[in-house]
Amino acid sequence: MLIGYARCSTDRQDLRAQKQQLRELGIEDARIYVDHGYTGRNRERPGLKEALAATRAGDTLVVTKLDRLARSVADAAEIACELQDREARLQMGTTVYDPADPFGRMFFNLTATFAEFEADLISQRTREGLAIAREKGRLRGRSSKFTAAQQRHIGALIDGGEHTQAEIAALMGVNPSTISRFAKKRRAQAAAEGV
């Protein structure tokens, strides 16, 4: 039986292309497991856990590319070993990984190394970009959901102590965690200003 797995790192990315490729490789929709918004460096992915749990002896776990499965050599090797222990195979695109074949093992290890290298480059470029943005004063964090007047009103309600954060959230039409973050940020600013 073929089991498919697809992953993308952010909620803004789309899994349709990967799912279509998996269908073209002969996998039924009901047997495609996905992780949306999970990095390949995170081994604790619910879709991956489900895919591995569904894979039995004689089955093949199929990914479109190895970097969809893992972004580190260690994780890729660990997953491959787990599948081998279950007497299942791993397929990347149209290539089936054969751990008994020295060339197959070398290709797998090189592919995993390149996936890890690419992830490291992305992290490095992100850190460099954030540092440059910070230097130019362009990195200010997330802007507030509230106007200045609303912020003053919420601050007055919090300071008044007559309403809970949940009540203030209901009044403002937001999730209570939004008011909690607002209050925490306000306290931190007050502490920094020595108020």
Pairing state between β 89-92 and 60-63: parallel
Q: Which of 9, 72, 123, 177 is catalytic?
A: 9
Is 144 noted as a catalytic residue in this protein?
A: no
Q: What are the backbone angles phi and psi of residue 45, rounded to the nearest 5°?
A: -115, 125
The residues that are catalytic are: 9
